[in-house]
Structure 1
Amino acid sequence: MGIIAWIILGLVAGAVARMLVPGKDPQGLIITFVLGVAGALLGGFVATQVFHLSGIQGFFDLSTWLCAIVGAAVLLLAYQLITGRHSDDRAGRR
């Protein structure tokens, strides 16, 4: 699968991951999409290296989408932890 396909997959995976990650998301759409693309690339790399897959099968393969969505969700959670932005923090401050 080419880099353009991973970018398109990452945009969609970032949007899906944003819906799956609990809590109110303080980051904007651009950050979500950037983290989605990076998460898709990271998920594909990890699946290839750690699980010894011979490459992700294709754009419409379920395993490709799962790797991309999980990678994007992990990066979204990491972003929230690193920046310290949680839905509880915003509710308590004025």
Structure 2
Amino acid sequence: MFQILGLIAVGLVIGVLARLIVPGKQRLSMVATLVLGVVGAIIGGFIASLLGWGEITELNVGGFILAVIAAVLLVGVAEGVSGRSRGAVR
């Protein structure tokens, strides 16, 4: 239970960092930011565990950096997809 709450808290921080890193104004909601941050945290933790930097549930520097990178990529993709769909309506 605490691992899930920790993942959500870290995911929110990672999502906010990703939004700050991606240039321009994002149209993502806070819920979308949280979801992308959590997914980024899972991806970063998974890659860190594959590299032998610790378990996926551990909070470590390498996993955190990889999670932020993954979340930045996810925010960029989400913005690109939402921008295209909004642009097509106009």
TM interval, shorter chain, is 0.7 to 0.9
Q: Name whichever structure is richer in helix by fraction.
A: 2
Tell me if the contact between 2:12 and 2:38 (Cα under 8 Å) persists in the aligned partners. Answer: yes
Aligned residue for 2:55, secondary structure, equals coil
Q: Which structure is higher in RCO with an 8 Å CA cutoff and minimum separation 6?
A: 1
For residues 18-72 of structure 1, give each alpha carbon's deviation from its aligned partner in whole angstroms, at most 9, with x where no partner exists.
00011110112111111111111111112222x243425843x322321221121
AA of the residue aligned to 1:65: F
**Are residue 31 (structure 1) and residue 32 (structure 2) matched?**
yes
Aligned residues: 85
> Partners in 1 of 2:63 and 2:44 — Cα distance?
9
| Structure 1 partner of 2:47 | 46
Structure 2 runs not aligned, ≥5 long: none
Q: Please list every run of 5 or more consecutive structure 1 residues that lacks an aligned counterpart in the other structure.
A: none
Query: Residues 27, 80 of structure 1: CA spacing in aligned structure 2 closer, same or farther, 3 A cutoff?
Result: same
Change (3 A) 1:79 1:24: same
Identity of aligned residues (%): 33
Aligned to 2:72: 73
Partner of 2:55: 55
Q: What is aligned with 2:4?
A: 3
